[in-house]
């Protein structure tokens, strides 16, 4: 098993930065290897473990696909990429990417991807993270149907927001 530390978190975030478009260069000018990842815009680190526990990049006009590198943020409690322009090239890529991204996030409590351009179906991988307390996928392009038992693996779920989509 690979040892993970703050360097792993830094690498994951730099890979994320390199795979998205940041039209205002906020991340380009702030997320650099010469400064501590815990001082980067939108990044919060835990005091005890000194690992990335929250990523909040809301309303930054970022665009592109969400790369799986974020999955290496294994201490992440909150992921907020809302009000950006993240999308998927195709449904198969979206499902695989989200699965690869979320599979290691066993501590994730808050997932906010509202107001993006996400594809036509909610990936079932989201409903396999038992630590999730809040999921917000509202105001996207989601359609299709949700299974009756989709939340059976989410014992801590307190909020599920799927409004302004075309779900049945």
Cα Rg of the chain (Å, integer): 15
- Asked if the model's pLDDT at residue 142 lies above 90, the reply is no
What domains can be seen in the chain, in order of their start residue?
Answer: 6-167 (3.80.10.10)
**Exposure string over 21-52, b if 16+ CB within 10 A, otherwise e:** ebeeeebeeebeeeeebbebebbebeeeeebb
Confidence band for 1, pLDDT divided at 50, 70 and 90: very low
Of residues 101 and 132, the one with the higher pLDDT is 132
- Does the predicted TM-score (pTM) go above 0.75? yes
Three-state secondary-structure class, residue 16:
helix
Statement: residue 104 has pLDDT above 50: yes
């Amino acid at each position: 098993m690979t040892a993970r530390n703050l360097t792993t978190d830094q690498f994951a975030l730099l890979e994320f930065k390199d795979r998205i478009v940041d039209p205002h260069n906020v991340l380009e000018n702030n997320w650099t290897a010469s400064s501590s990842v815990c001082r980067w815009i939108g990044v919060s680190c835990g005091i005890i473990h000194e690992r990335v526990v929250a990523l909040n990049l809301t309303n930054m006009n970022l665009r592109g696909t969400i790369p799986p590198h974020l999955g290496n943020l294994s201490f992440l409690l909150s992921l907020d990429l809302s009000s950006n322009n993240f999308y998927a090239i195709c449904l198969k890529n979206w499902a695989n990417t989200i699965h690869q991204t979320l599979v290691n996030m066993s501590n994730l409590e808050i997932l906010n991807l509202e107001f993006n351009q996400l594809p036509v179906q909610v990936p079932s991988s989201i409903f396999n993270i038992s630590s999730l307390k809040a999921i917000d996928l509202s105001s996207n392009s989601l359609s299709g149907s949700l299974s009756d038992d989709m939340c059976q693996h989410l014992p801590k779920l307190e909020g599920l927001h799927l409004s302004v989509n075309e779900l049945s």
